[in-house]
Amino acid sequence: MQQPWTAGPPGTGHLQAASGSLRGCIQCPLAPCRLHRAPAPAMPRAALWWLTARGVLVLCSIPARTFRGPWPGSLPKEYREILLILRWLKMVPSHSCLKDRFNFHFAWKTGETGPAIPKPQVPCWHYLILQQMVHLFAREPIPEKWDFRLLDQLRSCLDHGLQGLEQLDEEALSCPSLGMSARHYFRGILHYLRTKPRSPCAWEVVRGELAVRVVPQLLFLP
């Protein structure tokens, strides 16, 4: 049965179980979660998944700490793991969802064309995006076909990334205008999901948006 999740205390962006206790892989910032090895060699793909998920656990189980520099150096690695998990969550062929495609108007440039976000506000932008992704995966009904072990890994990595960014100065995480833009963008995603509650393609379109546009853009803004 799917574990119900809610957003944590205001301003933290953290996840907590509705029952009041944290379970499973969401604990990995404090205590690494142990997955059972998939049977091998009869199921090579399952074995590959196990190795991949284990790698995610190693990276996402590093305890949060105070960063002396202006930027948490582990974030790029965590973004790569988040991107990997989003790709593994793909359950619906993209060609079957062509009619459901939607332009969410992600207008911010990547490093390929020059960042459109002022450098001093980049940490704040990272924080806003991770926070909105945490809320998205905590509040909206998740497709039953998704692998919930991977989903727990994703939630854990997002939450751990927020913990790292929260070690920065309060001033570094203050960007009101970018905050309005980020919330407006994710409201569009929420509205899209809620207008297609029974569509198997709705979450696939959103998953693709996050994997193709949002997370790669974070990697280009170190």
39 belongs to a structural domain: yes
Q: How far from the centroid of its chain's Cα atoms is residue 215's Cα?
A: 8
pLDDT at 120: 87
Q: How many domains does the chain have?
A: 1
State the CATH number of the domain containing residue 111: 1.20.1250.10
Question: Strands, E, within 8-162: which ranges?
Answer: 15-17
Nearest to 128 by CA among 112, 108, 151: 108
Q: Is residue 1 part of a domain?
A: no
User: What is the pLDDT, as a whole number, of residue 144?
Assistant: 86
Spacing of C-alpha 207 from chain mean position: 10
Q: Beta strand pairing status for 5-7 and 15-17?
A: antiparallel
Does residue 35 form part of some domain?
A: yes
Q: Which of 187, 123, 216, 203 is nearest to 161 (CA)?
A: 123
- Is the residue at 143 inside a domain? yes
Peptide bond into 200 cis (omega under 30): no
pLDDT at 222: 57
In-domain check, residue 4: no
- In a domain, residue 177? The reply is yes
CA distance 32 to 130: 21
Task: For residue 6, tell me if it sits in a domain.
Answer: no
Q: What pLDDT sits at residue 200?
A: 84
Evaluate whether residue 149 is within a structural domain.
Answer: yes
**Which pLDDT score is estimated for 60?**
59
pTM: 0.68
Q: What is the pLDDT of residue 219?
A: 83
Residue 195 has a pLDDT of: 94
Cα 24 to Cα 146: distance, rounded to the nearest angstrom: 16
**Residue range of the domain that includes 40:** 11-62+72-219
List average pLDDT for each run of 10 residues in the chain, which is 222 residues long.
Answer: 45 42 36 35 40 46 40 72 94 90 82 66 93 93 90 94 90 91 95 91 95 89 64
